[in-house]
Amino acid sequence: MEATFLVTGGAGFIGSHLADRLIADGGRVRVLDNFSSGSHDNLAAAAKSGQLEVIEGDIRDLSVVERAARGCRVVFHQAAMRSVPRSIADPLGANEHNVTGTLNVLEAARRGGVPRVVYASSSSVYGDRPDLPKCEDQPPSPISPYAVSKAAGEQYARVWTKLYGVDTIGLRYFNVFGPRQDPRSEYAVVIPRFIYWALHGETLEVHGDGEQSRDFTYIDNVVDANVLAGRAVGAGGEVFNVGCGARTTLNAIVDRLERAVGHPLTRRHAPVRAGDVRHTLADISRAKTMLAYEPLVPFDEGFRRTVEYFREYWAARKER
């Protein structure tokens, strides 16, 4: 199948939602994934469309990425080793996946004549700078190997735009959450883990005092930002914050969960994790101006949808 779009990491949480949207919009999608964390289940709906091709392979293999990118109009690069704690445990792995892998994607696009690469960066590049909100003009100050790897990917993308004419757009995601996130991994992000523990009657582990805050961003907003970036004119070489422009503390999330499940939840406070920042908040004015980005789903609605998804997901598995 001649694909319109390539989604690296397309069997993962963000990538599979993006594949669904691209197909719903009439596109043909090729997914490249090594299935180390992604799942064929995430692609079930896309596969039924007849507009999906799946290549099982690794972005660390340039020849595989070249084959996957051939003939595509846009590459949406979502594949990565995610998680700050995981990168601290395996900094070399983070570099191989997130730096070398990104470099391979950019080079495959150059060699294959792909006009545009939209790639996933991260709010973690801002580090622990105290100034809020975070805007793209603030210099990066990474405090974890994961953040360093994402900042390096941004620099490579800018160079590939300037030197080789590959139109690149970077999206700095702020704490994405929603259906299909795996809550059981040691490196799972906080919202699906909290929901999992709450629905299974387990104690919620809160790192620090719980007053740290994040600009939690529902998956539909991130998908829409990617689609807009794929179409944008005059944005090559730029990076954009993708968030909601609002922040919520971990304690406030637990309070919402208690209301959702209808009973108090037990909390256990653990030490602050190395590499974690205290607060994040996105200035999304540049994305609004240059990409016409607007958050489609506010936090409360996204949280409600996510709780309901996991409630139904775990109930269905309990019945089997």
Domains by residue range for the chain, with CATH: 5-178+218-243 (3.40.50.720)
118 closest CA partner among 160, 153, 74, 79? 74
pLDDT of residue 129: 85
Residue 315 predicted with pLDDT over 60: yes
DSSP 126: G
Q: Residue 216: pLDDT band by 50, 70, 90 thresholds?
A: very high
**C-alpha separations of 86 from 2, 16, 82, 188, 295 in Å:** 36, 22, 7, 10, 29
pLDDT of residue 186: 62
CB atoms within 10 A of CB 128: 13
Q: Residue 276: pLDDT band by 50, 70, 90 thresholds?
A: confident
Mean pLDDT computed over every residue of the chain: 94
Q: Which residue has the higher pLDDT, 234 or 129?
A: 234
Residue 314 predicted with pLDDT over 60: yes
pLDDT of residue 14: 97
Label the pairing between strands 267-270 and 5-8. Answer: unpaired
Which of helix, strand or coil describes residue 35? coil
Output the pTM of the full model. 0.95
The tokens for 279 are: 């607060």
Which residue matches tokens 């994607």?
A: 105
Residue 183 predicted with pLDDT over 90: no
Residue 320 predicted with pLDDT over 50: no
Q: What percent of the chain has pLDDT over 90?
A: 90
- Which tens digit of pLDDT belongs to each residue from 69-108? 999 999 999 999 988 999 999 999 999 999 999 999 999 9
Q: Are 183 and 196 in contact (CB under 8 A)?
A: yes
Residue 151 predicted with pLDDT over 60: yes
pLDDT of residue 48: 96
Q: Residue 273: pLDDT band by 50, 70, 90 thresholds?
A: confident
Q: Residue 277: pLDDT band by 50, 70, 90 thresholds?
A: confident
